[in-house]
Amino acid sequence: MKFTLTTPIYYINDKPHIGHAYTTIVADIIARYHRLKGEDVFFLTGTDENSQKNIEAAEKLGKGDRIQEYLDEQSAVWRSTWEKLGITNTDFIRTTESRHIAGVEKFFNAVYERGDIYKGTYRGYYCAGCEAFVNESDLVDGLCPLHKKKPDTIEEENYFFSASKYRDALLEHIEKHPEFVQPQSRRNEIINYIQNHFTDISISRQSLKWGIPLPIDKTHVVYVWFDALINYLTGIGYGTNDEMFEKYWPAELHLVGKDIIKFHCALWPAMLMSAGLPLPKQVFAHGFFTIDGDKISKSLGNSIDPVEIANQYGRDPLRYFLVREIPFGSDGDFSFTRLKERYTSDLAKGLGNFVSRVVALAAKDRGEQIDEHNPDEDEVKKIASATWDTWETSLQNYEFGNALDAIWHLISWGDTYIEKTKPWALAKENRARYRHVIDLLLELVRHTSLLIQPFLPETTTKITEQLVVIPYVEALSSKKKKEWHNDAVVSVKRGTALFPPLDV
């Protein structure tokens, strides 16, 4: 089985902030989950470079005559940010690469040959912040509600895409495939948008000096959104590697922020229908978050660098916090106070303490293995297997909080079990019982290390380094590894604390 997922490709007129990292980190969690299930994952991210915003930023820095150089530098910053955060994307697509340009030309020609492109004049507003043609009705007090700026008024000869031709087909698709637009609240928003506001759209710009020239008229460049959406195809080989493209398209998931859902759930599928290509299976829109109550913005100077947070708190705690604290799909707040609280209570005192207690208890001589059945095993087996079930359905539905709740419930069962059985006393008084209890706890730690893997991959590695697992279990398929194997952990090697006290 294959699983293809994408993040939006980011504008690179600035450094990545925590909001961008959110989308990418969540995509990484999903990618790791599918890999863990043994699927062939293609995880694509990249940079959206033919944007007016990027060009203006280059000009501001006096690099107006060296735009490609500016884009190369900026794109490298984004790429290295994801590397520093441990993101496991399969590829990184840039819209100034020749493979992308080749694919955009091919796609444009397909739409053109379908008879879906015509010449006209665009008279109206353009919001450079949104990189979108906007209607009077989109404005609030004459301003773009997102960017709080007056949009440009433009009048230029443009080529248009007959998007409205696909209105009924789009509505029918959304009707037939409730999973296509998620979460549900977004679905209603999109249906309303397609029914009432989805019209033909200008897909070329005449007045811009940067972008991909239109194959049929080189005095125009392709409108940046029409160009950018095609990255989802060119990043997996459309136009350059048919075999790979056939293998990985359609994508199972486009992960996007709620701000760009219309492009992904209306324009994009209409473009694909016109080009005769299958539609992605799902677009999932997550919410936006604020920082300590404020909108993330340059002027407030609060656009924190995710790499800095990862350096201070660790990459895993950052990942954990983002999906633990903010219900996926809703808006939320990023608070440093909450981040510290979660670090201490859930990670250091919860997970970290449990693992170090068990490893310390097991470091003593455990004695001979016992054939007799441990009476506690039936209960723990049931709980572990229920945890895996919840984990599976929650991750499948992107309900990360539920998956984490279940894992932490298992950890707290383990803590209570330690309190109840008092293995330190058993070590002296009842060697056989001691062996049973420790075997069970170690197996619980092994399960925990697997369950947390999509969320806390570095912690999984650190735990794994402390457990010596019998080669027979190590060699099992990922599915079989999730079963209960009471004698899986042969011995332990004590390591350093998983979540040391913070000094921030």
Least Å distance, CB 296 to ligand MSP, is 4
Specify the amino acid at residue 435.
Answer: R
* 289 exposure class (CB count in 10 Å sphere: 0-12, 13-18, 19+): buried
Least Å distance, CB 382 to ligand MSP, is 38
From 88, 106, 92, 101, select the one nearest 46 (Cα to Cα): 92
Give the active site residue among 34, 100, 130, 265: 130
Select from 155-163, 211-219, 226-234, 482-490 the region that touches ligand MSP (CB under 6 A). Answer: 226-234
272 binds ligand MSP, rule: CB under 6 A: no
Give the active site residue among 298, 373, 420, 480: 298
Q: Any catalytic annotation for residue 298? A: yes
5 binds ligand MSP, rule: CB under 6 A: no
Instruction: Between 263 and 391, name the residue whose CB sits nearer to ligand MSP.
Output: 263
463 binds ligand MSP, rule: CB under 6 A: no
Q: Any catalytic annotation for residue 428? A: no
Least Å distance, CB 321 to ligand MSP, is 14
Residues forming beta bridges with residue 23, ordered by sequence position? none
From 415, 437, 413, 414, select the one nearest 425 (Cα to Cα): 437
Give the active site residue among 34, 100, 127, 254: 127
Q: Any catalytic annotation for residue 60? A: no
Instruction: Between 11 and 354, name the residue whose CB sits nearer to ligand MSP.
Output: 11
In contact, 279 and 249? CB cutoff 8 Å? no
Residues forming beta bridges with residue 161, ordered by sequence position? 117, 201
46 binds ligand MSP, rule: CB under 6 A: no
DSSP codes joined into one string, 360-411 = HHHTS---S---SPPTTHHHHHHHHHHHHHHHHHHHHTT-HHHHHHHHHHHH
490 binds ligand MSP, rule: CB under 6 A: no
Select from 8-16, 195-203, 239-247, 339-347 the region that touches ligand MSP (CB under 6 A). Answer: 8-16
Q: What's the chain's length in residues?
A: 504
Residue 79 structure tokens:
């790429």
Number of H helices, E strands in the chain: 22, 18
Element of type H or E holding 413:
helix 400-421
Site for ligand MSP (CB under 6 A): which residue of 127, 260, 380, 440? 260
Q: Any catalytic annotation for residue 265? A: no
Residue 193 structure tokens:
């948008």
Instruction: Between 9 and 355, name the residue whose CB sits nearer to ligand MSP.
Output: 9
Q: Any catalytic annotation for residue 462? A: no
From 489, 409, 403, select the one nearest 446 (Cα to Cα): 489
Least Å distance, CB 284 to ligand MSP, is 11
From 451, 445, 405, select the one nearest 32 (Cα to Cα): 451
From 313, 401, 407, 337, select the one nearest 85 (Cα to Cα): 313
Rounded CA gap, 339 and 320, in Å?
Answer: 9
Least Å distance, CB 132 to ligand MSP, is 10
C-alpha atoms less than 13 angstroms from C-alpha of 480 in its C-beta half-sphere = 7
Site for ligand MSP (CB under 6 A): which residue of 228, 309, 407, 441? 228
Site for ligand MSP (CB under 6 A): which residue of 84, 206, 240, 288? 288
CB neighbours of residue 93 within 10 Å: 23
Instruction: Between 52 and 158, name the residue whose CB sits nearer to ligand MSP.
Output: 52
49 binds ligand MSP, rule: CB under 6 A: no
Catalytic residues: 17, 20, 127, 130, 144, 147, 295, 298
**Binding residues for ligand MSP (CB under 6 A):** 8-11, 19-20, 22-23, 48, 228-229, 231, 256-257, 259-260, 288-289, 296
